[in-house]
Amino acid sequence: MALKIKKVLISQPKPATEKSPYYDIAEKYNLSIDFRPFIKVEGLDAKEFRQQRINIPDYTAVVFTAKVAIDHFFALCEEMRVTMPETMKYFCISESVALYLQKYIVYRKRKIFFSQTGKMDGLASSLAKHNKEKFIVPVSDAHNEDITAVLDEKKVDYIKAVMYRTVSTTIEPSEIDTYDMIVFFTPLGVASLFKNYPGFEQGEKAIGCFGAAAAKAAKDLGLRLDCEAPLPGLTSMTAALEAYVKENHKKK
């Protein structure tokens, strides 16, 4: 059985506003909740990128699967003095990712396509219509192959370009030991725990995970999963956390 939960580490950046449900939970159950990402994203510099022997101006279309991909693509373009031609076509995984392009280009003057589903398959018809383009797909060093499944299916000419990487942040074992509960959101976050603390033993510490991939990573590394979302009736991590803490405090 886990300890009485008093101090929780959420492995994500601190919420942008004080209106986060995490703060309500902290107040309601007299908890101390800290926010510390276990991982961070770093962009490759031009020297590292050039080792892939990819020449960005050779491509006529770009596929963006995340806002972070847009940031690192344009950062590399700026560093290498590559200017996007007005003819460049942009294919985005969602409308919000497409709208984020406004940070870097004049949106209304460009050819921009986005998926209505928030998944790559929603771009299938647009890709089929423009299958003569040469596509570049900015990705992380650790990316899901699903990203390019639709491109393979539509037989488009594309290349994956690693433009950023996910690395572990440094958190001291002595700091990790002060928490009664740690909540993870990605498999890389779970892996980072053991990178920072190779001899980590869970003991009575509670572990929470959001998403099937993070949960699987935790179990594969021998952790006991005490709190999980999404589950029926608990669609968010905050809902799952509150339900768990409520039950935990009842028993103590």
> Residue ranges per domain, the chain?
7-38+169-251, 42-166
Average pLDDT, the chain: 92
CATH architecture of 42-166: 3-Layer(aba) Sandwich (3.40)
pTM of this structure: 0.73
Average the pLDDT over 213-231 and give the result. 95
Q: Residue 137: pLDDT band by 50, 70, 90 thresholds? A: very high
pLDDT exceeds 70 at position 252 = no
Q: Residue 196: pLDDT band by 50, 70, 90 thresholds? A: very high
Provide the pLDDT for residue 2.
Answer: 61
For residue 252, give both structure tokens. 């103590």
Q: Residue 98: pLDDT band by 50, 70, 90 thresholds? A: very high
Q: What is the pLDDT of residues 22-75, one digit of tens each?
A: 999 999 999 999 999 999 999 999 999 999 999 999 999 999 999 999 999 999
CB 63 within 8 A of CB 137: yes
Q: Tell me which H or E stretch contains 42.
A: strand 39-43
Neighbours of 213 (CB within 10 A): 15
Provide the pLDDT for residue 25.
Answer: 94
Average the pLDDT over 67-94 and give the result. 95
Average the pLDDT over 110-135 and give the result. 91
Average the pLDDT over 106-126 and give the result. 87
Q: Residue 3: pLDDT band by 50, 70, 90 thresholds? A: confident
CATH architecture of 7-38+169-251: 3-Layer(aba) Sandwich (3.40)
pLDDT exceeds 90 at position 225 = yes
Q: Residue 150: pLDDT band by 50, 70, 90 thresholds? A: confident
Rg (CA), the chain: 21
Average the pLDDT over 190-206 and give the result. 94
Helices of type H across the chain: 21-28, 46-50, 67-79, 95-100, 124-129, 146-153, 173-176, 187-196, 212-220, 237-251
Q: Which residues, listed in sequence order, are joined to residue 112 by a DSSP beta bridge?
A: 90
Average the pLDDT over 131-150 and give the result. 87
**Are both 7-38+169-251 and 42-166 of the same fold?**
yes
